[in-house]
Structure formats: structure tokens, C-alpha cells
Structure 1
Amino acid sequence: MEKVPRSLVFRAATTLICLLLLSLFSTVDFGCYVVRSDQWKVRLSTRRVGQGIEDQEHLNFLFKRLLRGEDQTQIETSGFACHSDLQTQVCVANKPVRIDTSTMKVYAPFSQESPQANRVIRPYARQDDKTALSFVSPVQILQGNITPPACQYTHNVPAVVFSTGGFAGNLFHEFNEILIPLFITSRHFQSRLRFIVTDFSPAFVGKFEKVLAHLSSYEVINPTANGSLHCFPGAVVGLHYHDNLAVKTTHIPGGYSMLDFKQFLKESYSVKIQHLSKTEKTVLILVSRQNSRMFLNEDDMVTMMKGLGFRVVIARPDMLSNLDKFAQVLNSCSVMVGAHGAGLANALFLPQGAVLVQVVPLGLDWPSTNYFGVPATEMGLNYVEYKIEPEESSLLSLYGGDHPVINNPASIFAKGYAVARSVYLDRQHMYVNVVRFRKTLIKALGLLGRSAPSV
């Protein structure tokens, strides 16, 4: 029997493998996941991961849950509706749309008689904050008798358009105005949607890639990297906003709460501890600020904390920069201590039943209570605050005890936020009265069901 040449065997095997791969790619759906920011490339795959949205009726149901009252009637009759209030502007199309990512124009020609003719939206929560909106690019929605450009890419899941402009770069604002609103707006789609991010920030996408990948089975589309004409079975432009670090159960499809968002975060970052009862050691994490609102006697504070039996972890900026690792550290802590500021937003990763201790600088009572105090209880945390006295503030030596900065902060805020910020947020540091602050930490221990060691 004549031997078959080895080269022919190799070519035949190669051909067979190629045919098998071709068959595999033609029958299996693949999705694009968020990758690290230094590897970011727009992969315009239109295939699904798992089960996509199969019928228009189900798609209509998902979109309708984003609207209420007359807005629901509007989308049923025209296929397009918008919800607007003081802080939110969200437009929903439950019929096929075309989005030109080079111009960020959304073509919705099916709504021929809509009274809401062409709209311009800046897709960012907190529509009442004009300073933030000045950093957000507009998206134009075109309706009526128009002929849209031809599709270059066709997707079988809807689009959600939002911006990473505004105050992205500040952790509080990233959670408050982007991530929590994104959860509120898109969670009930069960990852069967695709994000288009205007004002694309590689830093933001890289930092929160696990969150984005947990909300969508598809890689984010970056309009600035590839301006193209995309066709979707529907779209949402803008994000719902409820309040500071808030998810209001009565306002959200499916009845989600802030505890649901915390659980979602823990799943995204694979943290294990859900409730404080599963922790053994009393670990206190101290948020150490390096610019404004610093603790000038931080070493004395740490000594006192250790004397109360706490194992103290000092969270400096280099630790906070790696959210993946920092989430694991936070999840093992019983108490978080920090001055009013963005770093306290990390309390979202504390286990339920933990204690947030906020040191309130002079003049910052209202933002301290409303930005962190009230939200903490909705997160399932105990909350304690320590309000400093004038003699604990560096402002006393700068202005003197008779100055309105010290004895009448309201008069400074009456001059405008910029003036007040330059004083109370940017120029203030604290020399905490350790003896008085010790009583606050004893109260925190009591909330944990533990007592302070006898002196």
C-alpha cells in the first residue's frame, strides 16, 4: 500500500480543523466583555451571550418599566417617551433606532406625530447640577419624517447611552451620578443590553470594568474610537437618579433597594462577607486624607484606637487607587472612620451591621448628614458622627474666633458654594480631641455589641 505524503496529511488535518472552527463560529454566540483600559479596543460584535431579547413584546415590557403614568401611555402609542424631573432626564425608544456614534445622533423616525420633536439630552444624572453638565456632551434625538443613514452594525440587544463626563474622577460622584443610576436604569435588563459611553473615560472604564461587565454581557462602545452607524432594537438615553447614594424601592423596576446595589457590588468584586456576624476581629479602617481635611494628629488617634482594642488599617490614597483589592479589605472591617469627603463612599463595601464614623468638619453639617449620614442607614450600616469644635479646626488660627467663618458658617454659604468650598472643604484641617473622640468610638463598639477595655 502506497504511503500518503506527510504534507498531504497535515494539509487535510488543517482543512478539517478550519471547517470545524467555521462551523463553531457560525452556531455559537460570543459576546465582548469589558477589558482593561490599556487594552481597550472597540470590538463591534453583534452576537449574544446566552439568551438575548427574543421578542418585541418582552422588549416593550422592559422599556415600559423605566417609565410611569403618562410616559407609559406615550411609549405605547408612539414608541418613544421621555421622563423628566429636577434631576433626571431619560428618553426611551422601544422600536428600532439608529445611533451615529460619530455625531451622537439617535434616529427614531417611527414617531411621526410625537409632540416631543427633536430633543437634546446630556445623558448624566443630576440634571440640576449645571457645573457637572458643562462637562457632558449632548446627544441629539431626531424624530419624525427623516431618512436615517444605513446601518453599518446591527445589534440584537438594546442600547443604553450615558456619559462618564461630569464629576467622574471623584469616587462619590462616580457612584452617585453614574454607577448607582446605571444600576437603577439597566439592572432589570439582566445584562442583555449594550452601553454606549459618551465623553469616554478610559480611567473610569478601567476602574469599574467589573461593574460594567456585571451589568452588560457586551463590551462598551466608545464613540470616539470608532464613529459608526449602529442599529438597535431600542434604546435608553440618560440615567434615572433617586437621591444621594440612594436607590428608592418604590421608584425602581423590580423594587430594588440600596441593599440590592451593595449585593450587586459584592458579586461584581467577589467579596465574601455579607454580614458583620461572620467577622471575628474588630478591624477599624481609617481613611487618611493627604490634602484637605487631614487629621493633623493622626498618630495620636491611631494610638487611642489601638488602646480600645481595634486592629487599625490606615487607608492612604495609594490603597484607595486599587478598588479590586481595597474592596476585599473593606469587606473585612467592622468600623470605618473618616472625615467628610469622597473616600467615605467606600462604605458601600462594608458588611451589613458595620459602623460608619464620620468626622464632621466645621461648617459641613448639612452635606455630611445628607451625603453620607442618611445613606449609611439605607446601606444597612450603623452611623455615628463626631462634630468637631472650633478649636479642633485649623480655620480658627486662620480667621480667629470672631470671624463669621467660625461663628456663622451659614453667612459664608450665602455667598455661594464656590466661596464656601474654598474655605470649609479646601482649606480646613483638623486636630481631633482624642479624649472626646474616644467616647464616639466607644459608642461604635457598643453598636457592634462589644465593650471597651477597662482603663
Structure 2
Amino acid sequence: MSTMQVHFPSSLVAKNTTTVVRPYAMQGNTYVMNDITPIIISTTEPAPPTCDHTHQHPAIIFSSGGYTGNIFHEFNENLIPLFITSRMFKSQVHFIVVDYKPSFIKKYRRVFMRLSDHEIINPAVDTSVHCFPGAITGLKFHKFLGINTPKNPSDHYSMPDFRTFIRQTYRLKTQSVFDTPNPPVLLLISRRTTRKFLNQEEMVNMMEELGFQVLIASSAKEMSNVEKFSHVINSCSVMVGVHGAGLANEIFLPDGAVMVQVRPLGFQWDVDSFYSEPGPGMGLRYLEYMMEPDESSLADVYGLDHPVLQDTASVAANGGYDAAREMYLDKQDLRLNLTRFRETLVQALRFVGRDINVADA
């Protein structure tokens, strides 16, 4: 453990074989991979190390570094890949976690307890030699909030399987949107820093006029308590929020529920692959609201005719991804057109099987 070396018998492969693996699922992201602890895999020549601990079950080695702390990445690069990898062992597996983050382990302790019957091994505090009958080093990313089902053993690991696992793990009782309360509950993800709703009070009034019971989630502390917050989301028929990590909480929505993504003006990188594409694979309905230039706080700064609002592609063309992100994610707030946004919510109501008056349509 002290050097994070994995030794295996030379009889299995050519002698003097050495491979270095950084056990984090986002292998294509060179920026984050540089911060992941490398694992050295080599043959045991001339003799294997002496075992301090001998285990009956295999090990899975993975990193809790990278982008953990962001729920979207925690599901994509840790929890979903770990579910795929460990499920075949029926909890008879040991987790060895490099780049150990206590907050991450505590946050998802229920998930780890269901995937493994053993205590997690932290090599930062356990420097002894452990021997296992086998080991998997690293996790595999499939796609954002999704699983490539045909690539899995027996073709039976799917996002519905994962969502069932999550419901059971957190004891979430509502499976279908048609089992949710009436009036339907709408959860509004309210950001406090960037991409704020500047007319949030008016939005909530309009939502309530349509017949929603509105819950507002704005506290990072509240949303970080997965055990409690998952139950809140599971009671909702509709979730609304601006593009951002908080929308990954759709994992906890009941089947048939609606996730409404408000797309920021000028920033379209991976917006579809992050949320619009995964929704149907999870048994959810997806709606989106496209901002217009006059709904952006940038109009107050630059004027409505400025290229920042009328030619948003020019920002990325001149400054690339970082410039577009800074302008449209970090510096932009929203003042939604309630007449247009109302139409989106009316459609959401119809999706969840709630009748509305003709005057409201």
C-alpha cells in the first residue's frame, strides 16, 4: 500500500511486465488525470512480497480524487462505474480508495455499504501488504448519467437497474410520478452565485398559480446531505433548474417525472449529452427552456445589440471554451420571460398527468 504497487505472478504474462494505471474513470481528461495517484502493476520477480493480510475476496482499486465534490461528476466518474464494476461480485469485494476524501466516503456511505461487505481500505493510513485472489484496477466511464448496456456482462446492467439500486439504497418509496401527491410538487434548484434567477419570486408565484406546490433548494449544505435530499426529490413530479451540476439530482426523481433544464444563453458545450440525452434512458421526461438575449443579465451590462448577446459564438471563437464559460456561466444571471416559461411548465403538467384549465393552457 505504501507505494501502491500491484504484483501478480509472472506465470500469467510475460516476465518483467510493468503497467501504470491512474484509477479514475475520466481517462480522456488529461487535465484531471495528472492529479490522480498512479498504480504500478508488475510481475512478482524474483519473489512476491510477504503478505501481511490475506483476503478471500478480490479488490477494486479506484480514486476518489478528480472532480469529486461535484454531484454530477460523482455519479459519472465514481458511483455509476463502481456499480457496474462491483455488482458482479454481489458485495463480496474489497474497495481500495486512493486519493481518499473522507467527505466523499461519508456522503455516499450507504452506497459503499451496499456494494461491499468490507471496510474500505485507505492506503494513506494502511501501508501493509494485502493479498487478494484478484483485483480490478480503475473504473470505466460509459457516458454522462448513463450506461452502455450492450457492453456489460449478460447485457443486463442499465440505468433503470442503477436507479432501482439507488432507490433501494436510500429507501425511496416513490417509484412512479403517478404515485406522487396532488397538487404536484415542483422542486426549483435555486443558485445563489452564478446563473441566478433574478425574478425568482415572480416565477414561484406563476408556478403556484398553475397548481404546483413549489419547493426551493438553494443551500449547498441541504443538497449535499444525499440521504435527506434524495427523499425530497423523490416526492417531486417536476424539477426545474439552470444548466449545472445540481440537475444531476434527477437520479432520485420517480419514473415519469419531468426535468426542465433552462439553457444559458451562449453556452452549449455538452448541454445535450449532460442532461437532455440521459433523461429518457432513466425513464424520465425532459423539457428545456432556451433563453433569449433579453432574458440575460448581460444585456444590462453590454446592451442588447452587443455581439456578446447577438453573436454568442464570437466569444468562443475568440477566446475558446474558457472565455465562453466565464462569460455565459460565471457572469450571467437570468430574468425569465414568464409568459414563455409558463408554456414549458404547462407541458410539464400534462406529462405528469395533471389536468389544467383551458384558460391556463
TM-score normalised to structure 1 length: 0.75
* 1:179 equivalent in alignment to 2:79: yes
Q: Which one-letter code corresponds to 1:447 in the other structure?
A: F
Could you tell me which of 200, 204, 208 is aligned with 2:100?
A: 200
SS in 1 for 2:42: strand
* 1:338 equivalent in alignment to 2:338: no
Match of 2:273 in 1: 370
Q: Which runs of 5+ in 1 are unaligned?
A: 1-100
Q: Using the alignment, how far apart are the partners of 1:182 and 1:139 within structure 2?
A: 18
Deviation, 1:322, is 1.2
* 1:258 equivalent in alignment to 2:159: yes
The 8 Å contact of residues 333 and 350 in structure 1, kept in 2 or not, is answered as yes
Q: Which runs of 5+ in 2 are unaligned?
A: none
How big is each residue's C-alpha offset from its partner over 1:198-244, in whole Å with a ceiling of 9 and x where there is no partner?
00000000000001111111111111122111000000001121111
Match of 1:12 in 2: none
Deviation, 1:350, is 0.2
Q: How does 1:286-365 map to 2 (within 5 A)?
A: 286-317=188-219, 318-365=221-268
Q: Which one-letter code corresponds to 2:45 in the other structure?
A: N
How big is each residue's C-alpha offset from its partner over 1:292-323, in whole Å with a ceiling of 9 and x where there is no partner?
11111111100000000000010122321211
Q: Which one-letter code corresponds to 2:193 in the other structure?
A: N
331-340 vs 393-402, which moves further = 393-402
Match of 1:431 in 2: 335
Deviation, 1:117, is 2.5
Match of 1:188 in 2: 88
How big is each residue's C-alpha offset from its partner over 1:6-32, in whole Å with a ceiling of 9 and x where there is no partner?
xxxxxxxxxxxxxxxxxxxxxxxxxxx
The 8 Å contact of residues 134 and 166 in structure 1, kept in 2 or not, is answered as no
Deviation, 1:367, is 2.4
SS in 2 for 1:186: helix
Deviation, 1:370, is 1.2
SS in 1 for 2:345: helix
* 1:128 equivalent in alignment to 2:28: yes
Q: Using the alignment, how far apart are the partners of 1:446 and 1:163 within structure 2?
A: 43
Gap change, CA 1:121 and 1:416, over 3 Å in 2: farther
Q: What is the alpha-carbon root mean square deviation over aligned residues? A: 1.6
The 8 Å contact of residues 292 and 428 in structure 1, kept in 2 or not, is answered as yes
The 8 Å contact of residues 15 and 43 in structure 2, kept in 1 or not, is answered as no
Could you tell me which of 282, 293, 296 is aligned with 1:390?
A: 293
Q: Using the alignment, how far apart are the partners of 1:378 and 1:187 within structure 2?
A: 20
The 8 Å contact of residues 357 and 385 in structure 1, kept in 2 or not, is answered as yes
The 8 Å contact of residues 55 and 131 in structure 2, kept in 1 or not, is answered as yes
Deviation, 1:172, is 0.4
Larger radius of gyration: 1
Identity value in percent: 49
Gap change, CA 1:397 and 1:126, over 3 Å in 2: same
Gap change, CA 1:213 and 1:308, over 3 Å in 2: same
Q: How does 1:2-401 map to 2 (within 5 A)?
A: 101-111=1-11, 113-114=13-14, 117-143=17-43, 145-254=45-154, 255-281=156-182, 282-317=184-219, 318-401=221-304
SS in 2 for 1:305: helix
Q: Which one-letter code corresponds to 1:206 in the other structure?
A: K
* 1:446 equivalent in alignment to 2:350: yes
Q: Which one-letter code corresponds to 1:248 in the other structure?
A: N
TM-score normalised to structure 2 length: 0.94
Q: Using the alignment, how far apart are the partners of 1:404 and 1:219 within structure 2?
A: 56
Q: How does 1:384-423 map to 2 (within 5 A)?
A: 384-414=287-317, 415-423=319-327
SS in 2 for 1:365: coil
Q: Which one-letter code corresponds to 1:433 in the other structure?
A: N
Deviation, 1:190, is 0.8
Q: Using the alignment, how far apart are the partners of 1:191 and 1:309 within structure 2?
A: 44
Deviation, 1:408, is 3.0
The 8 Å contact of residues 109 and 146 in structure 1, kept in 2 or not, is answered as no
Match of 1:74 in 2: none
Q: Using the alignment, how far apart are the partners of 1:116 and 1:274 within structure 2?
A: 53
SS in 2 for 1:175: helix
SS in 1 for 2:10: coil
Q: Using the alignment, how far apart are the partners of 2:252 and 2:12 within structure 1?
A: 47
Q: Which one-letter code corresponds to 2:310 in the other structure?
A: N
Gap change, CA 1:277 and 1:373, over 3 Å in 2: same
351-360 vs 411-420, which moves further = 411-420
Gap change, CA 1:399 and 1:367, over 3 Å in 2: farther
The 8 Å contact of residues 108 and 143 in structure 1, kept in 2 or not, is answered as yes
